[in-house]
Structure 1
Amino acid sequence: MERESMEFDVLIVGGGPAGLAAAIRLKQLAEAKGQDISVCLIEKGAEIGAHILSGAVMDPRALTELFPDWKERGAPLKTAVTEDKVIFLNETGGHTVPNNLLPDCFINHGNYIVRLGNVAKWLGEQAEAMGVEVYPGFAGAEVLYDEAGAVKGVATGDMGLNRDGTPGPNHQLGMELHAKYTLFAEGCRGHLGKQLEARYQLRDGVDPQTYGIGIKELWEVPVQNHRPGLVVHTAGWPLPADTYGGGFVYHLEDNLVAVGYVVGLNYSNPHLSPFEEMQRYKTHPEIRKYLEGGKRLAYGARAIAAGGLQSQPRLVFPGGALIGDDAGFLNAARIKGSHAAIKSGMLAAEAAFEAVGANRQRDALTAYPSAFQDSWLHAELYKTRNFKPYMKKGLWLGSLLFGIDQKLFGGKVPWTLHNTADHTALRPAAECPRIDYPKPDGKLSFDRLSSVFLSNTNHEEEQPCHLQLKDPGVPIAVNLAKYDAPEQRYCPAGVYEIVRDGENNAPRLQINAQNCVHCKTCDIKDPTQNINWVVPQGGEGPIYQGM
């Protein structure tokens, strides 16, 4: 059986801020020129915004360029930042840094605390109203190439496959979506983006990407604990000083507080659990005072591309481009990426519109990286490019060096530091101290399974596992033997579990794929790079409610 196909001028894979901004910009340009352009956007989540998770403090600069009248249009940017606090925590207290000593990237005047999933949903409504064909619940499963080797589109995944990959009774073939240009906006560690980087050698001559995992909860807190507009960032406890990470507490509207913790995935101790560090974090007096007596409403996790400009791949290839966090546009120093995603989507859209209008197709959109080089976004990312390499030197030395870089040199130091791949950082378990994590109290701290329940994650069990092992023997022969099976701890959703069977109590790795929240941490941190995350059926995974 052959798959049906549809043709478009531009196809966009991913319904986050980058993809939606690109779709909207294409339609804006077409309207301004009195031309027609067909734009299709597919999104693997069940609805637009279902898989979006971010802190999030949003710089509205790019949104204002996209929609100068976003306030009048009702964009869900409701809570302006009123106060910044940066605290270095120790086990029982902390020291607040005076704002006049903070680098500019830590000052949030003029920004908004948002629920980014709601912003994405609003962008999706704007896109549909402008004529973009938006299809949630369709996962881009395969890149399609033409005879010349250029990207000609993607195929969506088959539905109704049995666990062994054979067609089940409700089997439906995926569709082929063809386009003159395809923009990939899958977010951090995109499944197709990773393939494109390899095929077109987009990482030749650049540093490996380096990542963090962000774990977030949304709380409803008592009114006396709530300070709308307050942004709190912390460093230090509970992580040791040689491990990069930090926390945040953002006070939204309606007595809502977003609390989260980020751990750099270049940590070396395989006993470390980012999930457990997040649960400990909430028990600190400086954090618990905002949450005590409140109710946890939602939970989720997502990897974050934090390498900066030196880890950014080449952006274009024949037939398409990478945008947003598929290309690592996040500014780790500012702890912001949505404005960068929107701007990158707009720049790629402008290049694609020009090419379509000139009757070109499937060449490299070189106008996009050129426009990025000349943009305010490039200047911003260049200024903070050394943040993650500095912080890999340890909390205190890294903070001092970054402070000097920003306050004395304005980010214009004559050197660029380099990144290494996170999966190479783990040391053997026998060389590292074990970490004794306290049991959850069910009030401030919780276990994984009750947390995953709040993410509304669902996967049809009778389908091929979307967490593929290149070599089934490696998890026991290498990961368990050398690293004490770190996948049990770096996964924030309880997907990976060592169980013991039979009379010999023989260990095996059990993959509870139905728990997966699509954070991509396993694909990044597995020390042997033996785990390959691929898309499950469309519409599956978490359904975040405005995370």
Structure 2
Amino acid sequence: MERDVMSFDVVIVGAGAAGLSAACRLKQLAQTQQTEISVCVVEKGSEVGAHIVSGAVIDPKALNELFPDWHERQAPLTVPATEDQILWLRNSTQHWTIPTWLAPKTMHNTGNYIASLGNLCRWLADQAEDLGVEIFPGFPAAEVIYHENGSVRGILTADMGLDAQNTPKSGHMPGMILEAKFTLFSEGCRGHLGKALIEKYALDQNKDPQHYAIGIKELWDIDPVKHQPGLVIHGTGWPLQGDTNGGFFLYHTDNHQIAMGLIVDLNYSNPWVSPFDECQQLKHHPVFAQYLEGGKRVSYGARAIAKGGFNSLPKMTFPGGLLIGCDAGTLNVSRIKGTHTAMKSGMLAAEAILDAMQNQQTEAISFESHFRNSWLYDELFQSKNFGPALHKLGPFWGGAFNTLEQNLFQGRFPLKLHDKKADHLQIKLAAHCLKINYPKPDGLLSFDKLSSVYLSNTNHEEDQPCHLHLHDNKQPYRVNIPLHNEPAQRFCPAGVYEVIEESSQPRLQINAQNCLHCKTCDIKDSGQNIQWLPPEGGGGPNYPNM
């Protein structure tokens, strides 16, 4: 098929914190060096920020470097974190408050801000455009294209206007080739292109497998009398049980709103676990109910989180490009933060790209030295044991180890822990696990999946190719349904996967129009049979303030 070709110096896939920071830094450095550089950012969401969901408490460290005058530029960081509470929920009614000195110091939030990451990305996009960056929302990158020598040439954007059988409809628009000297991949956690690049170039060789969690978030308008701007609550415990680990958050932000949610590690073994229902149950605990009762839920979202940390970081450079941000896994799990680290990775990538262009190199080989000499490397290195400790020792003893390492050894404990077993390999037979019967939602504090998806403003054109591919259509009927009671119907937070009971045999139905693009199915399916691919541009959630 004949396709239009557009050429740039740098193409960036994904308008998140990492990609936009890289774009801004490239333009800033080019101005300083009095040179011209063309930068293009493509974003699959209908607008910048539409697919961004995060807690979020943001450390402004990287932002201070990128735009020292961000206050004057009115960046949407207006609620400083003023108080930390760390809790252990003992059961459905009781909790312990953990003294701050008994918690890892990495969980202290003085100097940070409670904010909407989506709004921060919208602001970063404005700064990037002011610097001359071209941003194209609604254009998903469908595949990587390569030169004959195997180096990355650029990307191919997805076709628009195909029906469910991949046949062009009226108004069909073929995807374009965007070629560049360097292509940055900042798709977020479990990016489908990043996944392919890691495999092609063996970027994760001799590394621990990446580990993941699913984060579920809700935004609530609450009674102004109950509102405490700046209060940050983190904790763990009930309702999670067995080897299902994770933690919760509750942040008092501005406009009498709170952001709350639950993060569930995807290394759990019980196929009956439903992270969505765990989150709904959590809200009935008095710690949450005291704020939520009488309030109104106004938004809902979910996203997978790459939390393997330092031990799982792939090699980030390859001929013609780099992986940055959560596409590489730069989140610091010990701090429950990834925005500042993603931004810094993009800024370091920008510096390395300009080095390579000046030296006429096809790989940004100086990135490794920039990275190793940065605070980003030090921060991730110091938290290298945090995730493995929780996985191996559980939340209590793992938490005790992490407090000791972070507070006494400053993150430099001489023993290096590893977690070598991938999350999708942990699932057990349904018959060997405790079946969990979740309480029905009450419509006041807890809700069902479909009403939640409605609040995410998710929309997909119905007559388009299904973007959730099964490598083997028979695998669910051979393995997932009979052996594991199809865990996809529970680990998906949007009701995409549904088992329909029929007289001949159960049938797996994929309701792709509900998809929140969280990527959990691509990660947790035990046979790695589900592949998430981008749907038609602009499809998916439209988060206004997440």
SS of alignment partner, residue 506 of structure 1:
coil
**Is residue 527 of structure 2 the alignment partner of residue 523 of structure 1?**
no
Give yes or no for contact 2:321–2:363 (8 Å, CA) kept in 1: yes
How far residue 101 of structure 1 moved from its aligned partner, in angstroms, is: 2.4
4+ residue segments displaced more than 4 Å? none
Q: Tell me the alpha carbon deviations over residues 127-180 of structure 1, each in whole angstroms, 9 at most, x when there is no partner.
A: 011100000000000101011110010010000111111222221100000000
What do residues 232-269 of structure 1 show as CA deviations (whole Å, max 9, x unaligned)? Answer: 00110010153211100000011010001000000010
1:301-330: per-residue Cα shift (whole Å, max 9, x none)? 000000011111110000000000000000
Q: How far is 1:414 from its partner?
A: 1.5
Residue 14 in structure 1 maps to residue 14 in structure 2? yes
Q: Which residue of 2 aligns with 1:511?
A: 510
Task: Point out the more displaced range, 408-417 or 18-27.
Answer: 408-417
Amino acid at match of 2:506: P
Q: Does 1:260 align with 2:261?
A: yes
Q: Match for residue 488 of structure 1? A: 489
Give the residue type in structure 2 aligned to 1:525.
Answer: K
The separation in 2 between residues aligned to 1:349 and 1:522, in whole angstroms, is 32
Q: Does 1:23 align with 2:23?
A: yes
Amino acid at match of 1:44: K
1:10: how far off? 0.5
Alignment of 1:44-443 (within 5 A): 44-91=44-91, 92-240=93-241, 242-358=243-359, 360=360, 363-392=362-391, 393-419=393-419, 420-443=421-444
CA distance in 2, matches of 1:251, 1:427: 38
How far does residue 469 in structure 1 lie from its aligned partner after superposition? 0.1
Equivalent AA in structure 2 for residue 449 of structure 1 = L
Check whether the contact 2:216–2:302 (CA below 8 A) recurs between aligned residues: yes
Secondary structure at 1:301's aligned position in 2?
strand
- Cα contact 2:141–2:158 (8 A) shared by 1: yes
> How far apart are the structure 1 equivalents of 2:365 and 2:444?
53
SS of the residue 2:225 aligns to: helix
CA shift for structure 1 position 399: 1.1
| CA distance in 2: counterparts of 1:367 and 1:244, whole angstroms | 38
Per the normalisation by structure 1, the TM-score is 0.98
Q: Could you tell me which residue of structure 2 aligns to residue 543 of structure 1?
A: 542
Q: 1:472-487, aligned counterparts within 5 Å?
A: 472-487=473-488
Match of 1:533 in 2: 532
Give the whole-Å Cα distance in 2 for the aligned partners of 1:116 and 1:220.
18
SS in 2 for 1:76: coil
* Contact 2:48–2:125, Cα closer than 8 Å, also in 1: yes
Distance 2:29 2:7 in 1: 20
Q: Distance in 1 between matches of 2:446 and 2:504?
A: 32
Task: State how far apart, in whole Å, the 2-side matches of 1:303 and 1:34 are.
Answer: 40
Contact kept, 8 Å, 2:157 with 2:175, in 1: the verdict is: yes
| Equivalent position amino acid for 1:62 in 2 | A
Distance of 2:229 and 2:52 partners within structure 1: 22
Aligned residue for 2:156, secondary structure, equals strand
Shift of 1:410: 1.6
Residue 501 of structure 2 aligns to a residue whose secondary structure is strand
Does the CA-based 8 Å contact 1:241-1:395 persist in structure 2?
no
Amino acid at match of 1:314: K
What are the superposed Cα offsets for residues 189-246 of structure 1, whole Å, 9 maximum, x if unpaired?
0010000011111111111100000000000100111100000001100101532111
Aligned equivalent of 1:470 = 471
State the distance in 1 between where 2:87 and 2:443 align.
Answer: 26
SS at match of 2:7: strand
**Amino acid of the residue matched to residue 439 of structure 1?**
K
Aligned partners of 2:59 and 2:113 also within 8 Å: yes
Return the letter of the residue paired with 2:290. Answer: K
Q: Deviations over 1:367-400 (max 9, x none)?
A: 1122111111111111111111111121211111
Aligned to 2:214, the other structure's residue is in SS state strand
TM-score by length of 2: 0.98
Structure 1 residue 354 displacement after superposition: 2.0
1:356: how far off?
2.1
For 2:366 and 2:290, locate their aligned partners in 1 and report how far apart those are by CA, in whole Å.
50
CA distance, structure 2, for counterparts of residue 226 and residue 434 of structure 1: 38
In 2, are the aligned partners of 1:209 and 1:311 still within 8 Å (CA)?
A: yes
Shift, 1:407, TM fit: 2.2
SS in 1 for 2:535: coil
Deviations 1:71-125 (A, max 9, x none): 0000000100000000001121111111222221010000000011000000001
Give me the whole-angstrom Cα distance separating, in 2, the residues matched to 1:394 and 1:471.
35
SS state at 2:506 partner? strand
Give the residue type in structure 2 aligned to 1:540. G
Unaligned runs of 5+ in 2: none
Q: Does the Cα contact within 8 Å between 2:271 and 2:429 map onto a contact in 1?
A: yes
Return the letter of the residue paired with 2:522. D
Tell me the amino acid that sits aligned with residue 191 of structure 1.
H
**Offset at residue 546 of structure 1 (A):** 1.6
Q: Check the 8 A contact 2:104/2:404 in 1, yes or no.
A: no
Report the Cα distance in structure 2 between the residues aligned to 1:490 and 1:242, rounded to whole angstroms: 15
Residues paired across the two proteins, number: 543
- Aligned residues of 2:42 and 2:137 also touching (Cα < 8 A): yes
Does the 8 A contact of 2:355 with 2:364 survive in 1? no
**2:36 corresponds to:** 36
Any stretches of 5+ residues in structure 1 without a counterpart?
A: none
Q: Is the contact between residue 15 and residue 42 of structure 1 (CA under 8 Å) also seen in structure 2?
A: yes
Amino acid corresponding to residue 151 of structure 2 in structure 1? A
Q: Distance in 2 between matches of 1:242 and 1:521?
A: 18
Letter in 2 for 1:426: I
Given residue 90 of structure 1, which amino acid in structure 2 is its aligned partner?
R
- Secondary structure of the equivalent of 1:346? helix
User: Structure 2 CA distance, aligned partners of 1:342 and 1:409?
Assistant: 27
- Asked if 2 retains the 8 angstrom alpha-carbon contact of 1:9 and 1:181, the reply is yes
Alignment-mate amino acid for residue 356 of structure 1 = M
| C-alpha distance in 2 between matches for 1:520 and 1:96 | 34
CA distance in structure 2 between the partners assigned to 1:367 and 1:220 by the alignment: 47
Percent identical: 57
What is the deviation of 1:357?
Answer: 3.0
